[in-house]
Structure 1
Amino acid sequence: MHGNSPKSLRQDLLKQRKEFASGDGYAVAQASLIAGLHHFLANQGKSIHAIALYWPIQDEIDLRPALLNWVKNNAQRCLALPYARPDKHLNFYEWQEGDALIPSAHGIPEPNPENTARSQLIPDCILIPCVGWSSSIANNKKHYWRLGYGGGYFDRTLAQIRKDNPNLICMGIGFDWQQLDDSQWAAQTHDEPLDLLLTESGLLS
């Protein structure tokens, strides 16, 4: 169905996402997923100070309006965007609506690390878009895994941040249909697990 390599699998999934985004069911799925995010923010969001989001590309769901609304309700809250370092790690810098951004090597808008008005920070929660996702069970605990774009940025970054902030919440953002079984893809030893996964069906933990 998806070919024999992670690369061809990603290509197929991205093609499917493009088709899904132009179809009749996308608006309903998007609304359901964002409603799930609002529910998370209204509950667990009370103890969170800084959320790192993503700048949506290639038909990813745009979570910025919901998160900006979350920030407006409390002056102690802030948002952050990732900056891709040359060593394929991410730094996170505070982001406010209207900030001037610069294109990354992959063409994704990102914060300018030389902007002294926006500090670097370690987020309490990171929202990460999924190209695909899977689940596994180990020691009677369910784990969720993310198939991304293949650069490894998030895996390297999460491994480091979890040492500095053991309470970090890492939430994958995806759709139900993106779920993969073992015959299609299995997480590798270097892959970092997700703490939560949010789809249109709700929050999976």
Structure 2
Amino acid sequence: MADMHGNSPKTLRQDLLAQRKQFAASSTYSASKNAVLTGLEHFLAEHRDRVSSIALYCPIQDEIDLRPTLLRWSKEESIRVLSLPFARQDKHLDFYLWEQGDLLIPSKHGVPEPEPNNPRRPQITPDCILIPCVGWSESSVGNKTHYWRLGYGGGYFDRTLAQLRKAKPNLLCVGIGFDWQKLDDAQWQAQTHDEPLDAMLTESGLLITY
């Protein structure tokens, strides 16, 4: 049972990460993961005219590995490219082109990152960013539904999205997670500085805001 401080984001995060570790070792994990990857393929097919550059992530702490699916996608058309985030000192993210086999350098958080000074891998602003969720929630304002991401607490994605959306209003930001990670208002509520997701992809399919 959670203690009286169980609703603090830090404790909630720890609980969710422990649950995810347990889930990744369970017998139902493989089917759930494959359902998410199938959903990703459908999303990419439906948005083929809108998305030719995607920012993904190197999985840590039992996050779903999207790389095989996205590498297949990128090889289908020469215009399609993939990128990985690099965490700057000011807690913003830059995205650099990534290809299979590139040397990656662990960040101070242990996340494999691209080398920002590689002249063959320039910085880009992707059409779509895929973001792993520790937890997620939804809220409704009028007839519009918003999806929110609980991350690791660094605020990197919120700062980055706030900036990128000004430069690229049609940017698509999709959270990646599982149904069981959904949180209700009693557990967690998005704060004013949190940037909403455009869509949430789980094993049940794609939830999208338009």
TM-score higher than 0.5 here?
yes
1:84 pairs with one of 83, 87, 100: 87
- Rounded to whole Å, the distance in 2 between the matches of 1:4 and 1:35 is 33
| Structure-1 residue corresponding to 2:21 | 18
**Contact between 2:134 and 2:150, CA under 8 Å: does it hold in 1?**
yes
Scaled by the length of structure 1, the TM-score of the pair is: 0.98
For 2:49, what is the secondary structure of its paired residue? helix
State the match for 2:172 in structure 1.
169
Distance in 2 between the 1:149 and 1:155 partners? 12
How far apart in 1 are the matches of 2:10 and 2:43?
A: 33
Q: Post-superposition shift, 1:46?
A: 3.3
Question: When the two structures are aligned, how many residues end up with a matched partner?
Answer: 205
User: 5 Å matches for 1:29-48?
Assistant: 29-48=32-51
What 5-or-longer segments of structure 1 have no aligned partner?
none
Divergent runs of 4+, >6 A: none
2:103 to 82, 100, 114: 100
* DSSP 3-state at the match of 2:173: strand
Question: 1:62 aligns to what?
Answer: 65
Tell me, yes or no, if structure 1 residue 189 matches structure 2 residue 192. yes
Query: 1:68, 1:36 → 2: CA distance?
Result: 16
Give the CA deviation at 1:38.
0.6
Q: Which residue of 2 is the match for residue 138 of structure 1? A: 141
Which segment drifts farther, 165-174 or 47-56? 47-56
Paired position in structure 1 for 2:159: 156
| One-letter amino acid of the structure 2 residue matched with residue 172 of structure 1 | G
* Pairwise CA RMSD: 0.8
Give secondary structure in 1 for the equivalent of 2:147: strand
Determine the C-alpha separation between the residues in 1 that align with 2:113 and 2:66.
Answer: 16
Structure 2 residue runs of 5 or longer lacking an equivalent are none
Alpha-carbon shift at residue 139 of structure 1 (Å) = 2.5
**Aligned-pair identity (%):** 67
Instruction: For residues 17-56 of structure 1, give each alpha carbon's deviation from its aligned partner in whole angstroms, at most 9, with x where no partner exists.
Output: 0000000100000010100001111121332121000110
| Aligned equivalents of 1:161, 1:26: Cα separation in 2 | 34
SS in 1 for 2:89: coil
